[in-house]
Structure 1
Amino acid sequence: MQKTPFAPRYTGVNHLAMATEDMDATVLFWRDLLGMRLIAGLGHEGYRQYFFAISDVDMVAFFEWPGVEPLPEKDHGVPVRGPYVFDHVSLGVADEDALWDVRDRLEGAGVWVSELVDHGFIRSVYTFDPNGIALEFSCYVPGVDLRAHPRMTDTAPSVRTMQGPDPVPGAWHLKGAPTPCDQRMVYPGEGHDLMHRKKNMWETGND
């Protein structure tokens, strides 16, 4: 197999960016129910963007814009018709050299790509995939660690936001008890055959 000349060391999904009209409800869910630290908040009256830590390297972000309406509920992966979109996907790369590698490769292929943008804690370039999906590639700024030192610069933070970056004990009054081990059922999903089919088509072909 021919080795690809371009193999950047991706670190995962830097952040997923979505939109909400109610940042308090979003903070209540992502920070207080799911247990993700709110590590950055920026904005002003009528506009906010907050980041929650998914892991040591991954985040989910929300813009708050007036007039945003929740999407209709839809089962995962079921096709839909008509407009259906979220803001963008940011893919993490190891460092600024890797970011330049990505930019140079996109530009060399004739794909539109932005200049490098410094956001203070991450540096990014922007482009679009063939499906029109907005993509961002990001690396962290050396010496800036929002997980160790969270910051909130929103000039009009919500009341719940001002409770701090950490999950608030007692914010949710959970009902019931943990599911007993002997009742923990796991059902096969769409990817179940990936590990349980005997044939790996890359190894065996269509035989």
Structure 2
Amino acid sequence: MIRYKGVNHLALATKDMPATIRFWRDLLGLRLVGGLGKPGYRHYFFELGPHDYIAFFEWPGVEPIEEKDHGVPAKGPYVFDHVSLGVEKQGHLWEIKDRLEAADFWASEVIDHGFIHSLYAFDPNGVAIEFSWDVPGNDLRVRPVMADRLPCPEALEGPEPRPGMWPPVSSPSTAEDKVVYPGEGGAIRDDGRNAWVGGGAEGESES
């Protein structure tokens, strides 16, 4: 059975990478650990945890989205509502709130959601962010709960994946099929491209 480690990275978009770095690295404290780029394009990664990153593409023509309160229903085409970042200590929620308000960013009050306590804010790109602290003894991964007053029939089947819902694999990939093709990120393995150790990235990533 496939086992997932978490969200490897969430890829978002900005037209202002400097402002994005100032917010995510310098205000929130996430390390900037990877960067790819060429004229008109950047792709930067911020370390969120042992297995997770928040990543941003910089596209010169993109505009910040209009702020929409977290979880408020929307109409029409829609994919992404907000990202929730877990914090280790409850006190970190107020530390983040203080930092945000000192930097003139809006921050909500801390809200009790039963299994988590949450703080809400927006980044300079209009990305809706939630900061969440796990309430001890209420880990849904240990004790799943379905508290929907009118759950759909599929939800009532329980938390575990159900076999037989989809066609089985009839033609698995062969050894010859398992080819990994080169992508933009190959530059990460080239020490000569690492600007932090005197590499040769000068001028290549200007947008």
TM-score normalised over the length of structure 2: 0.58
Aligned-residue RMSD, C-alpha: 3.0
CA displacement 1:86-134 (0-9 Å, x = unmatched): 2111111112122221111111212110010110111111111111111
Deviation at 1:205, TM superposition (A): 5.2
TM-score normalised over the length of structure 1: 0.58
Q: Is the 8 A contact 2:28 2:96 kept in 1?
A: no
Deviation at 1:69, TM superposition (A): 5.3
Paired residue type of 1:167 = P
Which of 129, 142, 150 aligns to 2:144? It is 150
Q: What is the aligned length?
A: 141
Deviation at 1:179, TM superposition (A): 1.1
Cα 1:202–1:135 shift into 2, 3 Å: same
Cα 1:198–1:176 shift into 2, 3 Å: farther
Q: Unmatched 5+ residue regions in structure 2? A: 1-25, 31-46, 53-70, 203-207
Paired residue type of 1:105 = R
Return the alpha-carbon distance in structure 1 between the equivalents of residues 94 and 140 of structure 2. Answer: 23
Cα 1:180–1:105 shift into 2, 3 Å: same
Q: Is the 8 A contact 2:106 2:121 kept in 1?
A: yes
- Aligned-pair identity (%): 44
Deviation at 1:183, TM superposition (A): 2.2
Matched, 1:183 2:177: yes
Q: Is the 8 A contact 1:89 1:135 kept in 2?
A: yes
Within 5 Å, which residues of 2 pair with 1:95-174? 95-174=89-168
Deviation at 1:6, TM superposition (A): 7.7
Deviation at 1:182, TM superposition (A): 3.3
> RCO greater where, 1 or 2, for CA within 8 Å and sep 6 or more?
1
Deviates more, 1:121-130 or 1:172-181: 172-181
In the other structure, the counterpart of 2:186 is: 192
